Amino acid sequence: MRFSIIIAAYNVERYIAECVESLRRQTFPDFEAIVIDDASTDGTLDEARRAAGGDERFLFLPLPANAGQSAARNAGLDRASGEVVLFLDSDDYYRDDALQTIASRMEADDLDQLYFSAETFYENRRLRRVRYEDQESRASIEGVMPGVDLYVEFERTGAFRPSSCLYAVRRAIVEEAGLRFREGIIHEDLLFMMLLMPLPRRAAFENAPLYRRRMREGSTMTSAFSMRNVDGLFRVAQDLGAWLDGHADDYPQAFRDAYAARVFDTCHVAARYLFEIPEEDVERYRDALDPRDRIDFDLRVLHLHRAVKDVYDEMEGSRTYRLGRVFLAFPSWVKSRVVLPKAKPRDEG
């Protein structure tokens, strides 16, 4: 088994060496790492080459102009030659035995796709407080099953995580389906992952934190929410809704129900983001949409936001709610301020 590891990199001079070095430390040696530099304006590409140290398993593909993570990953998919594909964010890294663990499980169970878990570490206390994500408490799912059934289990147990960095998949499946990341949006991981989810015949979940996920200042994940976030989620919901409508007769009811709930959740997240965005930005965005998209945006996101706001306003006017909120919020407030950010594990260099 040979891996193709696709690394889209943009202005990560401070972090790319750690990412590259984690691959060179892997106990499983048979891989190619394709580093796509998305026209960085700092020393990302030079630092990546230095960290690779002439290792011929590393390929470097500089793009002529900044095109975004989707385009960079697509360029990597076009160049990939390995049997199995993984995506690695350029500011993150793998546990030293990650590839060996993935290869052993995929070969032992003849898997088309293997999902795995992550551990998040934070650069500072503020990020842990405002961008905390629960990667460590995912429920385990035993056995091998079609991707359709695994997705239902992910949603049933709350173990679903929308990241393309948390699975390995046979490249033939991606190519046969003609799958590529949608360019020009963010939250593209969710769309790609949901279109890929039903395709594998044999899929499994290895609930081990093979991936180290960095939460840092200035990344896409930690930047303030904007209409770019909302637009990305809206476009993902549109595409997923259209896919589900076109495949309504192809899959079991449990899968259709879980998929529909995920489409609604995507709209709901977009609607919640609107609470943090000035109304004039929302109106400017709506005015720029064509008539059909504007109607669809209003139906999927804007009116949901207004309905949620009405509920919040009504609840916050209740004295019982205000008292209950104080008592319920206190444990979370303490945890976010007392528990220190996770640092890089000492045993990993």
pLDDT band for position 213 (cuts 50, 70, 90): confident
Q: Output the 3-class SS for 170-228.
A: EHHHHHHHCCCCCCCCCCHHHHHHHHHCCCCCCEEEEEEEEEEEEECCCCCCCCCCCHH
pLDDT band for position 320 (cuts 50, 70, 90): low
What pLDDT, in 10s, does the model give residues 275-306?
A: 999 999 999 999 999 999 999 999 999 999 99
pLDDT band for position 312 (cuts 50, 70, 90): confident
Q: Which residue is listed with tokens 């020009």?
A: 184
Q: What is the dihedral of CA 17, 21, 22, 27, to 10 degrees?
A: 170
Are 27 and 37 in contact, with CB atoms under 8 Å apart? no
**Residue 349: what pLDDT?**
42
Q: Give me the chain's average pLDDT, please.
A: 89
Whole-Å CA distances, 252 to 31, 150, 156, 249, 328: 37, 13, 15, 8, 39
Instruction: From 292, 306, 282, 308, select the one nearest 228 (Cα to Cα).
Output: 282
167: enclosing H helix or E strand: strand 167-170
Q: Which residue has the higher pLDDT, 341 or 191?
A: 191
Distance CA 277, CA 234 (A): 15
The mean-pLDDT minimum among 76-80, 145-149, 337-341 falls in: 337-341
**pLDDT over 60 at 174, yes or no:** yes
Q: Which residue is listed with tokens 């309504």?
A: 248
Are 165 and 88 in contact, with CB atoms under 8 Å apart? yes
Q: What is the dihedral of CA 198, 89, 5, 206, to 10 degrees?
A: -50
Average pLDDT over residues 176-188: 96
* Length in residues, the chain: 349
**Residue 222: what pLDDT?**
46
**pLDDT over 80 at 127, yes or no:** no
* Alpha helices, DSSP H, located in the chain: 16-24, 44-52, 69-79, 98-109, 125-130, 147-157, 171-177, 188-196, 227-246, 253-273, 279-288, 291-297, 303-316, 319-338
**Residue 333: what pLDDT?**
46
**Residue 189: what pLDDT?**
94
Enter the DSSP assignment of 143. Answer: S
